[in-house]
Chains A and B, each alone.
Chain A
């Protein structure tokens, strides 16, 4: 469902800086993009700034980080200038975030059902019974076969895939318009990954949501998303449609594509990515 005509989210000239004892770290440097009711992938390696971009949209960058931008606009609401109170209304309700490892993102001392119900009741004042019903509905929507059992289970009692589905249920229960997923399947086995991605795919399509999918896995993003942004050293170096990824122009993208081992390619030496200092427009020394 590609609908670029009415962007949900517009980001313009986003910068995230950290002032540390070792000096200023410029994690995100002038990133700009739009997201409509589509699946947008942001791909990069560690240090590329992709996770920080996702967090900056929700103003979840921890101190000593500082976020500046020319514009962060979500369906008419200015996210950059909004107060913390306004942001609390937006997080979870209009924009949600799913993170990598349910072991760390779910509260270990509360049952799954209670956490999901609480997510529903936060700021909405819905009665407990209704919240419980909605939570069970969401658990069923993420294709958990026994919602009642999972409702009463603790996070450590669930497998990785189940935990991540519970996390998705919790994040989608308030029917947000935009979902930011930061490496949602990286901690999962490959077959489970596919199942969880299918769930995200279906839910996003059904509800007409936008999705920002952040990952280091280029192939996965290319096969799952509609459009792809490639980030390197805090900047976007390439934007294209997922289907066109294999005709990518930027040498970094091409280098990444060529350095991946593939099942269908014979086992010759892999092309090694040669970093060019001009990609980051810095005097950073190339790292081996």
Chain B
């Protein structure tokens, strides 16, 4: 479904050039859930921006649903691929009601039958229809993220790009949103590409994952490998150990790798 080869992104020029991505390659099969894990500066969010069409300055090959992609995407592409953003407080227009936010993609793609689609979208993400005419500042973080997911799904895409979808949410709300995403994926056979710095979330949500560091994929794993035994690459092991909690002895070993 997603096939990326030799993807490179450079910001700036000359001496100040930053190589955000250096020849990334990975594949995601249809219906699969794939994770990109890394710390800040790893380039994982840049990958999503390239795939979604928000970033137009890249080199390499990106093939989505069998079609090679060019920087400027078509309207049909946007019906196929959608994205959920990290910050629920920033991803909804503050002056648009939930209804307006959900009606917009329907209007842009001229799908018609707007009322029914909105009602279905809200029910699918577990929001009561009474939320329809509220403004974002009247919603909690979890509710806003549900609206963002409804907005992404109202066009019935096949691929969902998820940029740290629960990082800005409270722990108790995170579980609900993760469950919601898992259910929606099962019901609609969606393909997920999930980006996160949280190894536990990625291990939970994804079948396979790649560990990224400074623009490069250092290791590709299956979730089962991750759970059963420790990963092989030193950086992955470091990330794994740091994610399981504080261990004073382990920190000294961490310093040695870095």
Contact = CB atoms under 8 A, between A and B. Distances in A.
Contacts of A34: none
Query: Interface size bucket, B side?
Result: 35 or more
A264 B246 contact: no
A191 B176 contact: no
A191 B140 contact: no
Given A198-B251, A267-B205, A262 B200 contact: yes
Contacts of A280: none
Interface stretch (A79-87, A97-105, A130-138, A219-227): A219-227
Contacts of B239: 190-191
A250 to B, nearest CB: 14
Which of B172, B174, B247, B254 has the most C-beta atoms of chain A within 10 angstroms of its own C-beta?
A: B172
Contact of B197 (A189, A223, A267): A189
Interface stretch (A53-61, A173-181, A268-276): A268-276
B246 A267 contact: no
B200 A260 contact: yes
Contact of A45 (B172, B245, B255): B172
A259 B226 contact: no
A224 B140 contact: no
A46 interface: yes
Contact of A288 (B126, B205, B255): B126
Contacts of A261: 174-175, 178, 200-201, 203-205
Given A190-B243, A262-B200, A195 B227 contact: no
B182 A269 contact: yes
Given A218-B171, A219-B245, A263 B200 contact: yes
B5 interface: no
A273 B143 contact: no
Contacts, number: 111
Contacts of B172: 45, 255-256, 259, 272-273, 275
B182 to A, nearest CB: 7
A189 B171 contact: no
Q: Which 3 A-B pairs have the closest CB atoms?
A: A223-B245, A261-B204, A259-B175
Interface of A: 45-46, 160, 189-195, 197-198, 201, 216, 218-220, 222-224, 255-256, 259-267, 269-273, 275, 287-288
Interface of B: 39-40, 126-127, 140, 142-143, 170-172, 174-176, 178-179, 182, 197, 199-201, 203-205, 223, 226-227, 238-240, 242-248, 250-252, 254-255, 258
23 contacts: A189-B40, A190-B239, A191-B254, A192-B39, A194-B242, A194-B247, A194-B254, A197-B246, A198-B248, A259-B174, A260-B200, A261-B175, A261-B178, A261-B203, A262-B203, A263-B199, A263-B200, A263-B226, A265-B204, A267-B204, A273-B172, A288-B142, A288-B143
